Structure 1
Amino acid sequence: MNQYVLYFPEIDRFSLPRVGGKGANLGELSHIPGIAVPPGFCVSTKAYTDFVSTGQDFAALLQSLAAVDPRSLEELKSAGERMRNYLLSLAIPAPIQQEIRAAWRQTGSDAAYAVRSSATAEDLPGASFAGQQDTFLNVKGEREVLDSVRRCWASLFTDRAIAYRRQNGFGHDQVQLSVVVQRMVFPEVSGIMFTADPVTGNRKIAAIDASFGLGEALVSGLVSADLYQVKADQLLKKQIARKTVAMTAKPEGGTARVAIAGPQQTAQALADPDILRLAGLGRSIEAHFGTAQDIEWCLAGRQFYILQSRPVTTLYPVPPVSDAQLHLFISIGHPQMMTDALKPLGISVLRTIVPAGKDSPQAESDLLQEAGGRLYLDLTPLLAYPRVRKVLPELLPVADELLGRSVQEFIGRPEFQAAPPPERKLDLALIQKAFPTAFGILKNILGHDQSRAIAELNRFSAGQLRANRDRLQAVSGPERITRIQEILASLLPVIAAKAIPYVGAAFLTYKLIETLSHRWLGDAAELRAISKSPPGNVTTEMGLALGDVADAVRSHPAVIEYLKQAADRTFWDGLKAVPGGAEVLPAFQDFFARYGMRGTGEIDLTRPRWREVPTSLVPSILSHIQSFQPGQHRHAFRAGKTEAELAAARLLNRLRETPAGFLKARRMKRLIETHRALIGAREHPKYFMVQNLDLIKQALLQEAAALVAGGVLEHPEDIFWLSLPEIKTAMETRRFDRSLIGVRREKFERDAKLSPPRAITSEGEIITVKPGAQAQPGALAGSPVSAGTVEGRARVILRLEEARMDKGDILVAPYTDPGWTPLFPLAAGLVTEVGGLMTHGSVVAREYGIPAVVGVDNATRRIRDGQRIRVDGTRGLVEILEPDPDPT
């Protein structure tokens, strides 16, 4: 039995450790009926390891690569060149040469070959590593084949391969190399086929690139190609390119670029029947591998040959469905201002919270599906209602403008119009359930005294919290998990019934103030100030309370120095030990008693709370001390309240000067009073949810400690990688497969790198739309949510715990949730990648009176930290006023 060579029929997908990704895929392809693969063999990874071990310096050179800075082109070039030259100087051991010669003769000593590298970290589901090593075409002769094998081994250390492994977390010693030696095919046409559209992600559309000659020129980007798209055996699109050159094989070996004659340059490379035939082959290959494929193919005579197939690693995962109907899914993370990946327990908790789409309160809702570590809401059942199809695109922009426009675009498509979901009529019971809420909103708008609304909501929330705490403390074990599931399922109905009449009235009065101002006065000039500093907003109160902590700290230099180097585990003991620590301790304790359950990404139960990572607030405290005078934050809030009152008075005076002005002013006065009295309730539902999630997290960690003590789990935090039903089963059986934790941790790390789409179909198509604002050249467009214009220094902040801001900076962030509130008093403007008119950042920006633009795609990448920018919160535009301050 050969130890250094394996022929394609001997190889399958499980041979990856011996023949690398490319070799394993080729072997697997050769087993698929109806798929023609040119014959060949693989020089195994054992040959590579035995080859490199013949030298004395390989280990030292390998170790030196670990110290290379992948951002330094000079270091990469120097280190890579040393390693390649070393390997090219080594002789191939005789036993390896003998097996390669024998395989070459058996496959055809008179044939030409393609010699390709095949690394063990290549063509993988999580990372393609495509193009990192070298390929040699039209190789003829025994000596040339052996030399190409050695050059492939050396190409494991090309500059690009070294950098790519470093960036993707692969150690240089973890990757081994096989070499594929395959008989050449000399085609008339060749190209690449994606069995899913690589641009939109649609899994039903095959995209084919085709050009004349060898496909290596197309893969390398040297030539243009025709583009064809096929769906359900129908040719959707043909885009014929001007093909000026082709790569062909030279008789003596090697390849050459040749010019294509004039008329042939614009000729269609593949005939229509061949396009459909090739797409069918692609579907067969995809079905065999079970995932979308990136396929290299060629056509010689009438025969299609498959030269390679690898998984497409750039597609966002598709939420699962159980039928053939076209579904539309929307992200729940974008409106919630939390687009990060969720751990399994966080996903399970949120799916349990949703009261619809499940058979029992303890179950997880089918309306929410996980994809890429995020949760997506299946809108398809709702779209069956004609009224919902009309109203939903108008309501969604309140949460996220681009989300609303995406849904509108989907509903307006001809294919959806031609076959919409079976129409449903609103259930009478559903109308009856919704009526009290609608009536409550109307009553709050038309009623007279709302001054006690926030206090009543606070009393209600506190009572519910106490009751849930008592319920959780009364039980343990599996019964406690059942209680947790029941409490989670009750949270939305309970808080919605109490809060939505207040919050809904606040939102509607805001829109009515804006609409009536435009109708009666021709503008809404006072609108910006009217929302400033309303009473009762728990998130604003939290920001003010943190300012009080900063004021307590500012007069104690030793405490300030301590905070700069404090650690979470020793935070409290260390604070008590420094001069002044005892004096500021009550301020810290009071703040964490009231708000310690909060944090960034707080809808994910598994994310750290401020109580658990107190140092995450240190940057905000220090920035506050640096940028504000003592008490300035409280003064600014009172000034905002005064400004709002003056703006309201101006608006009413202007109205009184119009026809029937007395009645208009009276009506407007009522709207303003209602809006300001109730808009503070906007943050209460989330605050209520977070308080309860904190109770549940503590209870789960208590149960996790018991599982650790019983040997079921290794660490209490391992419970974050389980769903609620799995936790209950582990408690009942006292068993759990710990290997699943490692698998899920790896998936989470892959998912964390993905950019989640706002809207995606069950076919995998990501729906993309442009913002409503018309961007000027060089400007970025988004949704205008807080009027005004400001210029300043951009502070691009990805994580709150790393925030460094000065007063007057413009905050640029992926999103902001209540955990980011401490930064708002410092910010002169706000730019976020997600959000809508009534999401957290927008509401708080209006309260502070700072211009804000949300829904700016890739804002944190397109704007560089330190750049001077202009934020136009009236038109929804962000202009970059100066070049990147650090282009390196």
Structure 2
Amino acid sequence: MNEMVLDFDRIDKSSLPLVGGKGANLGEMTQAGFPVPSGFCVTTAAFSAFARQSAEMPEYYRRLDQVQADDLQQIASLGRMIRDHLMTLPIPESIRSAIAAALHRSGENKAYAVRSSATAEDLPTASFAGQQDTYLNICGEEPLMLAIRRCWASLFTDRAISYRAKNRFDHRAVLLSVVVQQMVFPDVSGIMFTADPVTGHRGTTTIDASFGLGEALVSGLVSADLYQVRSGAIFGKKIARKKLAIYSLPEGGTVTRELPQEDQERQALGDSHIVELAAIGESIRKHYGSDQDIEWCFAEGRFFIVQSRPITSLYPLAPVSVPPGESPHLLLSFGHQQMMTDAIKPMGLSLLKTMFPFGKSSVRAESKYAAAAGGRMFLDITPLLALKPARKLVPKLVSGIDELIGSGVGEFVQRESFVRHLPRVPGLKRQVAGFAGRILLRGARNLLFASVSKAHPTVNAYIEASVREGKSRLSGVTGPERVERIQEQIGALLRRMFQELMPYPLAGIISSRLIRVMLERWLGEPDIVHVLNKSLPGNVTSEMGLIIGDLADAARPYPQVIELLQHCEPKRFREQLRQVEGGDVFGQAWDRFMEKYGMRSPGEIDVTRPRWRDDPATLLPSIVSHLRSMKPGEHRTKFAQGADEARAAEQDVLSRLRAQPLGGLKAALMARGIAVFRGLMGLREHPKYLMMQHFGMIREALCDEGRLLAEAGVLTDKEDVFYLSLDELLRLTRGERIDGLDELLPLRKQEFERYRALTPPRLMTSEGEIVTGRRKQQDAPEGALLGTPVSAGVIEGIARVVLRPEEAKLSKGEIMIAPFTDPGWTPLFHSAVGLVMEVGGLMTHGAVVAREYGLPAVVGIDRATELIRDGDRIRLDGTRGYVLVLERK
């Protein structure tokens, strides 16, 4: 075999190292019988032989290794030098001869398209599309040799270098093949996606079509017709005005021409041809087993496929079973509900699926209504929406989690196609009524009659008993018995917790709504509720934030402790404390904190994440920020001031109500409402606190099982346990084999790294469609970033973008811009004067804590951490729900 040049009919998907992604796809489709114009590939072996002639390339590669993806000036300079250098190198004679022979076989008098095909291109996980150059209508041997050399040089275009640097590809590892393919001179050409690239809907074929060569469309010179096909029928068309087209010239090259007026708004492709093309696309999709981005053209009455590559932008499908004829299922992002949208390792997902209390065959089983996709968990809420009352109630309830989720659910359930084929779940209404009814009845009793003063002792006693029982069940056992107990413990946790704990904060939530209504109706001032919300007593997460402030104050007298907080090795922090002045005093306070809160951390719903007691790296910067931004005792003083303001507001409201007609009754109703609100709303974080207590002990047990399996040689590393499911771990502890485990674990690790870069949707369907909601009309200045107002007030200050708590460097007077926050972020709230988040709603963690601390806050601003730059001066309006950039850094 001559490895310098390979004809398409000698290439398949296994040829990727020699011909790159584009070449491998063309060869694969040729062998599968698809209508691909013939041609050949100049292989990566030829490129390597060409580049080896250069004595300078090793030094160029060394300099490329040091390039940063955002250093555009250096990239432009270095890229130009490398390209100019490569264009001075001759093509070795052996390679020229092989190319000339292939050209003779294919037809010397024909015109060719010459395209680059990189080994890291058109892969399922990385597109690299458009990173290298294409040359059209190349005629003759010498023009072909020049085009090939230009393609080789284009491996070092600015965009290609930057893309590789950004995605951490080794520049030496990405090699270039060149595809030489017979030109087709089409009447119409374009691009076809076998899934909708905008909504993600699988089964919707989307076709862009325009006259002439497809390069006009790809380069953005022309607008294209848009056709959409589903189940073999056209269901959408948008005919564009097509002013220009690119055509081939007989002598070589191309020309851009203006289309006659009568052709500009003519449908480029007839209906029968649209359906025929969609059928070809479906055949290609089935051949590859994944959705494809296909370049096509239509000439002399037939279609040609000139390229097909995987669509890499689609969010992965959730593995949900939908019976034939049933409506597509609607799935809600659990991460958005929990204010943690990062990817979660397989064990973390398995634990969450086991914890979800509905759709389980047994307490130890994973729920059929919980599905993992892209490293995130989604909840299938479709069975619930089969109940007509739920289709009205659920959108309102989830709006408290996230306004866009609520409006998205509300719009989706109005679709006739959804309602017509909803599943019927026998006994569902009775199950929901039984589960929710008990919680609602107890919540109503707490709202109307129960002693508020007894709530906190009752809840705390339940938590202590639950934690004692959990620790007792997991102590003294190992192996399969311990794993089974983990499944039982986590499988029963949520149902019990809902029944026992949720009636308390539920009464607080209902009372807050009633207070707002009464304030509006009787005083015309509903926003007083924001003052009544300050410094709620007994909130376990707020108390944690205050104790972290105490830790900062404990460190203040000791410079060596402060130095250690700033520059220690986090995992050895407690050990290093013993070696510095004041370390014993601070260490005692530290140990007390860890005893109560050491099982917490940012992203804590993922049990595989280190807890603060394992690694305090995410906690130490919060203490340092507190030292920088707060005076001694200031956090306690501010919290006490908030409580005083709330009490003063309460007395003022009650006094004004007593002066009104029926004032005694109004004041009594308001007093009860405020007592319930301030007495029970602080319990809102207790269920999560209990959950994390169990997560902490379960994590320790899982780590111990991982250690034992690693010592036995079953796992390579104890951390590998986090890439298993609970059922898989159970099998391994029983001594069973898992076929292909050695290959499976590295694959899962690679998948996890890929999933980390994905942005999960708030809502998606079982068909992959991303469902987006719409915000209400808002009163905001032009150019403002719109979100959901969750904590009233207006503040101006410097924006500090915090992507991870361990990197936080908040100073006094700064506004925190974060992707999300969960209780593990709470330590930073004392240092900020305002909060902006990309996800969240009125009742999510960040919003609740911001209101308690009196921080103006806006949530739900997509890409806030990108659109607002670190150091920008901004105005945050937590009353109207917007952020306005006043000065760019």
Residues 11 and 24 of structure 1 are in contact (CA less than 8 Å); yes or no, is this contact kept in structure 2?
A: yes
Please say if residues 782 and 876 of structure 1, whose CA atoms lie closer than 8 Å, have aligned partners that are also in contact: yes
Aligned to 2:74: 75
Pick the aligned partner of 2:826 from 816, 821, 844. 821
Please identify, of 410-419 and 399-408, the stretch whose mean Cα deviation from structure 2 is larger: 410-419
Q: Relative to structure 1, is the Cα distance of residues 474 and 169 closer, same or farther in structure 2, using a 3 angstrom cutoff? A: same
Query: 1:618, CA displacement in angstroms?
Result: 2.0
| Residue matched to 1:285 | 284
Q: Distance in 1 between matches of 2:254 and 2:95?
A: 27
Q: Deviations over 1:502-556 (max 9, x none)?
A: 0111111111111121122222132111111122111011011111111110111
Tell which deviates more after alignment, 833-842 or 183-192: 833-842
Using the TM superposition, give the Cα deviation of residue 671 of structure 1 relative to its aligned residue in structure 2, in angstroms: 0.9
Equivalent residue, structure 1, for 2:8: 8
> Which digits, 9 at most, give the CA deviation of each residue in 1:91-111, with x for residues without a partner?
222222222111111111111
Q: Residue in 2 aligned with 1:127?
A: 126
Query: Alignment partner for residue 570 of structure 2, among 564, 568, 571?
Result: 568
Does residue 471 (structure 1) correspond to residue 476 (structure 2)? The answer is no
Q: Aligned ranges for residues 437-476 of structure 1 at < 5 Å?
A: 437-476=439-478
Correspondence 1:244 to 2:243: yes
TM-score (norm 2): 0.97
1:205 is displaced (CA, Å) by 1.8
> What is the match of residue 864 of structure 1?
869
What does residue 512 of structure 2 align with? Answer: 510
> Secondary structure in 1 aligned to 2:683?
helix
Q: Which amino acid aligns with 1:563?
A: L
In structure 1, what is the Cα distance between the partners aligned to 2:208 and 2:457? 65
Report the residue type matching 2:817 in the other structure: V
For residue 237 of structure 1, what is the amino acid of its counterpart?
G
Question: Does the 8 Å CA contact 1:791/1:869 hold for their aligned counterparts?
Answer: yes
Query: Which of these residues, 753, 760, 780, is aligned with residue 757 of structure 2?
Result: 753
Distance 1:244 1:814, change over 3 A: same
The equivalent of 2:806 in structure 1 is 801
- Once the two structures are TM-superposed, the CA of residue 654 in structure 1 deviates from its matched residue by 2.0
Trace 1:642-661 onto structure 2 (pairs within 5 A).
Answer: 642-661=644-663
The range that moved more, 416-425 or 223-232, is: 416-425
CA spacing shift, 1:291–1:685, aligned 2, 3 Å: same
How many angstroms apart in 2 are the aligned matches of 1:637 and 1:581? 28
Q: Cα deviation per residue 1:679-727 (whole Å; 9 max; x = unaligned)?
A: 1110010000001001001011111111111111122111111111111
- The answer to which of 495-504 and 867-876 deviates more is 867-876
Q: SS at 1:570's partner residue?
A: helix
Counterparts of 2:259 and 2:434, CA distance in 1 = 72
Letter of the 2:169 counterpart: F
CA contact (8 A) 1:576 1:582 kept: yes
| Range 736-745 or range 165-174, more displaced | 736-745
Q: Which deviates more from structure 2 when the two are superposed, residues 368-377 or residues 760-769?
A: 760-769
Instruction: Give, in whole Å, the separation in 2 of the partners of 1:658 and 1:359.
Output: 58
User: For residues 121-143 of structure 1, what are the alpha-carbon distances to aligned partners after superposition, in whole Å with 9 as ceiling and x for unaligned?
Assistant: 00011110011111111111122
What is the letter of the counterpart of residue 549 of structure 1?
Answer: L
Residues 409-808 of structure 1 aligned to structure 2 (within 5 Å): 409-422=411-424, 426-428=428-430, 430-733=432-735, 735=737, 737-774=741-778, 775-808=780-813
Q: Tell me, yes or no, if the aligned pair for 2:571 and 2:616 is still in contact at 8 Å.
A: no
Residue from 378, 381, 404 that aligns with 2:380: 378
Residues 792, 879 of structure 2: 8 Å contact kept: yes
Report if the CA contact (8 A) 1:712-1:734 is conserved.
Answer: no
Cα gap change, 1:704 to 1:734, in 2 (>3 Å): farther
* Greater shift in the superposed pair: 198-207 or 363-372: 198-207
Residues of 1 paired with 2:442 and 2:450: CA distance?
13
State the secondary structure of the residue aligned to 2:32: coil
Question: 2:73 is paired with a residue of what secondary structure?
Answer: helix
* Distance across 2 between alignment mates of 1:430 and 1:76: 60
| Counterpart AA for 1:213 | G
Query: How far 1:569 sits from its partner (Å)?
Result: 2.8
Please tell me the residue identity of whatever aligns with 1:875: R
Partners of 2:775 and 2:864 lie apart in 1 by 13
Which amino acid letter does the alignment assign opposite residue 334 of structure 1? H
Cα separation, 1, equivalents of 2:448 and 2:753: 51
Sort the Cα spacing of 1:479 and 1:148 in 2 relative to 1 into closer, same or farther, 3 A.
same
Question: 237-246 or 602-611: which moved more?
Answer: 237-246
CA shift, 1:315, in A, is 1.0
The residue type paired with residue 776 of structure 2 is G
TM-score (norm 1): 0.97
Change (3 A) 1:670 1:831: same
Q: What's the offset of the Cα at 1:241?
A: 2.0
Contact 2:841–2:860 (Cα < 8 Å) also in 1: yes
CA distance in 2, matches of 1:854, 1:76: 37
Aligned to 1:159: 158
> Mean alpha-carbon deviation: is it higher for 840-849 or for 752-761?
840-849
Which has the larger displacement, 460-469 or 822-831? Answer: 822-831
CA distance in 2, matches of 1:168, 1:430: 47
**Using the alignment, how far apart are the partners of 2:652 and 2:410 within structure 1?**
38
2:182 maps to amino acid: R
In the alignment, residue 2 of structure 1 is paired with which amino acid?
N
* Secondary structure in 2 matching 1:812: strand
Q: Distance in 1 between the 2:785 and 2:777 partners?
A: 9
Determine the structure 1 residue equivalent to 2:361.
Answer: 359
Query: Helix, strand or coil: the match of 1:218?
Result: helix
Report the counterpart of residue 44 of structure 1 in structure 2: 43
Tell me the alpha carbon deviations over residues 156-194 of structure 1, each in whole angstroms, 9 at most, x when there is no partner.
111211111111111111111111111111011111111
Q: Within 2, Cα distance between the matches of 1:228 and 1:766?
A: 19
Q: Measure, in 2, the Cα distance between the counterparts of 1:449 and 1:183.
A: 84
- Are the counterparts in 1 of residues 341 and 376 from structure 2 also a CA contact under 8 Å? yes
Contact persistence 2:192–2:295 (CA under 8 A): yes
**2:445 aligned partner, one-letter code:** K
- Distance in 1, Cα, partners of 2:96 & 2:519: 86
CA contact (8 A) 1:656 1:662 kept: yes
* Residues 627 and 147 of structure 1, relative CA distance in 2, 3 Å threshold: closer
CA distance in 2, matches of 1:57, 1:858: 42
**CA shift at 1:599, angstroms?**
0.5
CA-based RMSD: 1.6
Counterparts of 1:291 and 1:558, CA distance in 2: 58
Q: Distance in 1 between matches of 2:440 and 2:27?
A: 64
SS in 1 for 2:771: coil
Q: In structure 1, what residue type is equivalent to 2:676?
A: T
User: Could you list the runs of 5+ residues in structure 1 that have no partner in the other structure?
Assistant: none
1:402 to 384, 401, 404: 404
One-letter amino acid of the counterpart of residue 769, structure 1: G
The 8 Å contact of residues 772 and 783 in structure 1, kept in 2 or not, is answered as no
Give the whole-Å Cα distance in 2 for the aligned partners of 1:728 and 1:709.
17
Alpha-carbon contact 2:383-2:424 (below 8 Å) kept? no
Greater Cα offset, 184-193 or 613-622: 613-622
Q: Does 1:881 align with 2:886?
A: yes
Cα distance in 2 between the residues matched to 1:217 and 1:402: 37
CA contact (8 A) 1:566 1:615 kept: no
Matched, 1:839 2:844: yes
- Aligned counterparts of 1:621 and 1:277: Cα–Cα separation in 2: 64
Residue 830 of structure 1: how far off its partner (Å):
1.6
Aligned to 1:19: 19
- In structure 2, what is the Cα distance between the partners aligned to 1:207 and 1:776? 37
Larger mean Cα displacement after TM superposition, 506-515 or 64-73:
64-73
Instruction: Give the 3-state SS of the residue equivalent to 1:156 in structure 2.
Output: helix
- AA partner of residue 812 (structure 1): I
1:320 maps to 2:324: no
**3-state DSSP class of the match of 2:169?**
coil
The one-character-per-residue Cα deviations of 1:790-828 (angstroms, maximum 9, x if unpaired) are: 222222211111111123322221111111111222222
